[in-house]
Amino acid sequence: MNRKFKIRLAFSLIPLILFLTFSVWKTVQAEKIPVSEVKHFNTPAIPVQSKDSAASEEDGVIDTVKIGAYIFSVYDLDFPAKKLNVDLYLWYNTKKDSMFLLENLEIINATEMNKSYEMNEKRGDIFFHSVKINATIKQEWDVTDFPFDKQNIEIKIEDFDKDNSKMVFVADTAASKIDKDVHLDGWQLKNFGLKINEHTYETNYGDPDIPLNEYSVFSQANLHFTLEREGKGLFFKLFIGLFISVLISLLTFFINPLDLDPRFGLSVGAIFAAIASQYVITSTLPQNERLTLVDILHDISFIFIFLCILISTISLHLIKTGREEKYKKLDRVSFFAFASAYIILVVYFVLKAI
């Protein structure tokens, strides 16, 4: 190998030597950098958002959800147990698909709720959610005017996860209806509607991070309709026995007071018949502390039957003391007076209930 070749080789290796030297120097410098500063040389990490964190970022943004329902069955009205069953289709229309509406659906006045045929689809820029619901609804029956009563049924729907600072309902009143084939024997369905209310829960649920006076308010959809009883035929069916009992007691005024068995026995039997009538009717109704039409009519009947027994006792005393004409007059006047007063009172309270 001649001298010129060696010189050229040496010059050609100079860049390689310089590159290796620079690389070793950079490696040594990197080892001296503190760990807290190394992150500045790395590519920034993309944060992963959970469902909860995403929801927290959306706080303060109120979403609007259009809600509607179609009731296609009402059945099993249970007055003693204070409940009834309803089948319906429920739907939501929203521009957001991350609200978990069907998962958070709650009927707050239902003891049982079963969901089926859930559907979640996008229609244009609208997300359409629908579900079939079978629910057992708690109902405070108002039987004050039974059997001419009207029952206001409500189905209260909420989203248990989002208060009105995050979501509000808007009623789809155009599409919400009750099926025309829904029929209950002895009842008429009237005044169906859907309205939106705000329901305040006046508690902090024991959460120490929430002030006691800071209450949560939820948007609530309220499906409502009226059941009006067709009670005229039922009225005579239920009370005919009671009226006959009073009539039998009035007929004792045409019996001689000395005939003790029929004169007093018929009235005593009328009392037991009236008591049985009240027991049979009230056993089909819920317990009610208010005075109902059923109570009023039976109480009036008890009073008049007692008055018949009282007049019979007075007549018996008159005939035994030789005042036969007086007892006859007393019986005759009592019959017409009691019969007229009883009919007037019954008609008055019945018309008032109707």
| Residue found by looking up tokens 């039997």 in the block | 269
Is residue 297 located within the same domain as residue 324? yes
Residue 38, in any domain of the structure = no
Per the CB < 8 A criterion, the answer to whether 194 and 68 are in contact is: yes
Is residue 88 located within the same domain as residue 206? yes
More reliable by pLDDT, 305 or 49: 305
Q: Report the alpha-carbon distance of residue 320 to residue 311 in Å, rounded.
A: 14
Is residue 222 located within the same domain as residue 260? no
- Predicted confidence (pLDDT) per residue in 227-236, tens digit: 999 888 899 9
Strands lying side by side in the sheet with 150-159: 105-107, 150-159, 216-229, 187-201
Specify the pLDDT at position 23: 56
Q: Report the alpha-carbon distance of residue 324 to residue 316 in Å, rounded.
A: 9
DSSP letter (8 states) at residue 160? T
Residue 284, in any domain of the structure = yes
How many domains, in total, are found in the chain?
2
- Residue (of 343, 244, 248, 351) closest to 300 by Cα position: 343
Residue 6, in any domain of the structure = no
- Predicted confidence (pLDDT) per residue in 73-125, tens digit: 999 999 999 999 999 999 999 998 878 899 999 999 999 999 999 999 998 89
Domain boundary among 188, 214, 230: 230
Residue 23, in any domain of the structure = no
Residue 155, in any domain of the structure = yes
Please report how the helices 232-251 and 293-320 are oriented relative to each other, as an axis angle in degrees rounded to 10: 10
What domain range includes position 332?
A: 233-353
More reliable by pLDDT, 8 or 49: 8
Specify the pLDDT at position 354: 87
- Residue (of 264, 271, 239) closest to 315 by Cα position: 264
Query: Which has the minimum average pLDDT: 62-66, 194-198, 241-245?
Result: 62-66
Q: Which phi-psi region, left, alpha or beta, contains residue 82 (left: φ > 0; alpha: ψ -120 to 50)? A: left
Is residue 225 located within the same domain as residue 289? no
With a pLDDT cut of 90, the percent of the chain lying above it is 66
What average pLDDT does the chain have? Answer: 85
Is residue 255 located within the same domain as residue 120? no
- 48-82 CB burial, b ≥16 within 10 A, e <16: eeeeeeebeeeeeeeeebbbbbbbbebeebebeee
CATH of the domain at 201: 2.70.170.10
Is residue 168 located within the same domain as residue 223? yes
Is residue 251 located within the same domain as residue 165? no
Query: Which has the minimum average pLDDT: 8-12, 192-196, 330-334, 344-348?
Result: 8-12
Residue 145, in any domain of the structure = yes
Domain boundary among 230, 259, 280: 230
More reliable by pLDDT, 54 or 247: 247
Is residue 243 located within the same domain as residue 341? yes
More reliable by pLDDT, 276 or 98: 276
